[in-house]
Amino acid sequence: MIKLSKMHKRLLALGAVMPIGSAIAQTAAPQPQLETVTVTAQRRTENIREVPLSVSSLNNEKLDVILSGGQDIRLLAGKVPSLNVESSTGRVFPRFYVRGYGNTDFSIFASQPVSLIYDDVVQENPILKGYPLYDIKNVEVLRGPQGTLFGRNTPAGVVKFESEKPNLKKVEGFYNLSWATYNTANLEAAVNVPLSSEWAMRVSTLRQHRDNFVDNTVTGKEDVLEGYNEHAERVQFLYAPSKAFNALFNVHQRTTTGSARLFRANIIKKGSNELVDGYDNTKIATNGANFQNLHTNGASARLMWDLDAVKLFSITGYEAVTRYTSHGDIDGGAPGQPGVPFQVESAATMPGLKQYSQEFRVESKNTGAINWQTGLYFFNEDGKGGSDAFNATGAQSSHLLSQQKNNAWAAFGSVNYAVSDALSVRGGLRYTKDKKDFATIESVNVTQVGPKSVSESASKVNWDLSTVYKLNKDVNVYARIATGFRAPSIAAATADVPITVADSETITSYEAGVKADLFNRRARASLSVYNFDVKNQQLTVVGGTSNITKLINAAKTKGRGVEGELEGFVTNQLKMSVGGSYNFTRIEDPTLRLAVCRTCTPLDPINAANQVSLDGNVLPNAPKWIANASARYSIPVADGEMFIFTDWTYRTKISFFLYDSVEFTGKPLTEGGLRVGYTWQDGKYEVAAYGRNITNSQVVTGAIDFNNRTGFVNEPRIWGVQFKGSF
């Protein structure tokens, strides 16, 4: 066992290189303390220090600050260690990566190894994953395989959102209004209303708007692109007649319109990854239509029975996409422009998708050494999605519509055994059966290659084993071994490529770490190390010399890394946090080769067939280093306080595709935010001025793999004002 005195010496040594630690150590008591952070990473509410896995939580002011600028869910990228989020489709189709492990697939039925769970209901289709964040209690990021306790495709991890819930206490609520550059307006509001001694209601709403601010130099029209309108509503009813039973009902919807992602031809310099000279993000030359239109809705019922010895939970979820179109000029340019050898204008569509899920879970309430939980999970999805192509005049030239039906069920269980006051052990087991039926159901002017339908089925047993040891009342160490599974994925056919199938992928992950409350809870720290092996990883080949998507498997992928977080009070008025991760990934498959584009500069050796080997390459969109930092300084004034808050994220370079090339390697990206404001009446009211991406960093964050170095860029700098009130 490590003695406390030695632990203090090590923490003070850390303080020598991190100012939080040294400043805290020198501050005299009494001092403010950090609030205890509780998470539901193991399906129970626990102190984050007690959970034997790498998990981060975002809540309170941090979450409010990053949401203030009206951005979508992609703003979470880099806000915690090992998390990246990107999209080639804008606000409506985010792709998540944890520890460098994710999926670049942009097909309408894409499967991802990072699961997104909103109010205990999995959002399986990528379009559902973009549901906006508003009236949120907290965000949890669970790193590593979570296949034992969570329902769908979690070999890389889980991003978990929990909205604020109704209560029976009193009428209360808040409103949050902001306005910024480009007429970016953000309105968020919620009200809680007790309806009786047993019923309560909470209504939440979000309204977001941004004006178009990009001129089209082909048509000569000004301010025609990059705007959006977003609104979402959620109504929840709580029924709590006694402590032995309660029910929570949730109904929600989302409507989004505006521009699709702007693909810009020839914006990357040949032989470099720099933006071309004279690049202007307020102008584009495009001859194709560009728009998005999305509507989703859903409902859930969460029931709990307290049966003395156990608790019984039932979670029923329904999610639907009732309308989706994302239409863009994929080649990014217009006829006659240099480097635009062909015209590609297309639209991804989903006329309908319905998803049903049901979970029954039993949780023990033992006061002794053993506690357990077990349950059953059912999932059903039926969706239709496709793509349309258009000619140079804008007329539809082809149409392809596919249907996927996905049915799955699982049985799971987990046991927690307290060996002693200091040592506990947890183990979990899950059996999953997954079946997909996929077919082309409509085809116009497309001569499909290969069969028009396929069926895939797979089953798997996953497990995890972890242990927590308390070095003392403030410091825990843990170790974990876990496996994960992703069922086969299917990609729709195109005129050139048949329906393709990627076989099941599996992961085995090893992780160890330490979590500590420091200096009488004036600070909190965590550090974890991990190593994983993925077998048969599902990868996506996109673009090349045509607008295609097909799936392949890599024999093996390896990953390893380190993650750390530290937050605390430097002084009574200054609170700081820092976090970071090192994530190394490598594809290991000597047989895997792909064609490369003709106008980029490949970094991999090319054979006679113009193919490169992927063996040894890193995974796409997997930065080696991610870092974040924030600081809040307050000054008491009258009956309130003035404050300054700043937050920063950094990631190193990324590769956009499976092969390495100079042009399609994204530069390192640093973005910062600043907020200056005044809060009064114990935080009841707040007024602030803020900026996002205050250094106006502009880098290419993704590309289209055609022959014209087409790319898209990060969000521009904005300045704004905000007012919040609560009642």
Backbone torsion region of residue 544, taken as left when φ is above 0, otherwise alpha when ψ lies between -120 and 50, otherwise beta: left
Residue 4 has pLDDT above 50, yes or no: no
Cβ within 8 Å of residue 113, ≥6 positions away: 101, 102, 103, 153, 154, 155, 156, 484, 486, 505, 507, 538
Cα atoms in the 13 Å half-sphere on the side-chain side of 181: 14
Contact at 8 Å (CB) between 259 and 291? yes
Average pLDDT over residues 30-37: 84
**32: which 2 tokens?**
């403010």
Q: Has residue 11 been placed in a domain?
A: no
Contact at 8 Å (CB) between 701 and 665? no
Question: How many CB atoms within 10 Å of residue 242?
Answer: 8
Q: Has residue 20 been placed in a domain?
A: no
Q: Has residue 519 been placed in a domain?
A: yes
Cα atoms in the 13 Å half-sphere on the side-chain side of 228: 23
What's the pLDDT band for 343 if we cut at 50, 70, 90? confident
Question: How many CB atoms within 10 Å of residue 5?
Answer: 7
What's the pLDDT band for 27 if we cut at 50, 70, 90? very low
Average pLDDT over residues 300-326: 96
Q: Has residue 5 been placed in a domain?
A: no
Q: What's the confidence (pLDDT) of residue 622?
A: 97
| Buried b / exposed e along 655-670 (16+ C-beta atoms within 10 A) | bbbbbbbebbbbbebe
Q: For residues 198 and 168, what is the distance between their CA atoms, to the nearest angstrom?
A: 7
Residue 15 has pLDDT above 80, yes or no: no
Q: Has residue 621 been placed in a domain?
A: yes
Residue 139, domain extent: 31-726
Q: For residues 329 and 349, what is the distance between their CA atoms, to the nearest angstrom?
A: 15
* Span 82-99, pLDDT tens digits: 999 999 988 999 999 999
Q: Has residue 26 been placed in a domain?
A: no
Average pLDDT over residues 689-709: 90
Residue 18 has pLDDT above 50, yes or no: no
DSSP 92: G
Q: For residues 256 and 295, what is the distance between their CA atoms, to the nearest angstrom?
A: 7
| Buried b / exposed e along 546-573 (16+ C-beta atoms within 10 A) | ebbbbbbbbeebebbbbbbbbbbbbeee
DSSP assignment of 19-48 equals HHHHHHHTPPSS---PPPPEE-TTSS-EEG
Q: Is 424 helix (H, G, I), strand (E, B) or coil?
A: strand
With tokens 């309430």, the residue in question is 365
CATH number, domain with residue 426: 2.40.170.20
Q: Residue 510: name the closest of 558, 581, 460 by CA.
A: 558
Average pLDDT over residues 20-25: 44
Residue type present at position 441: I
Q: Has residue 7 been placed in a domain?
A: no
- Mean pLDDT for all residues in the chain: 91
Q: What's the confidence (pLDDT) of residue 543?
A: 62
Q: Has residue 9 been placed in a domain?
A: no
Q: How many domains does the chain have?
A: 1
Strands ordered across the beta sheet of 214-216: 221-225, 214-216, 283-284
**719: which 2 tokens?**
């300045």
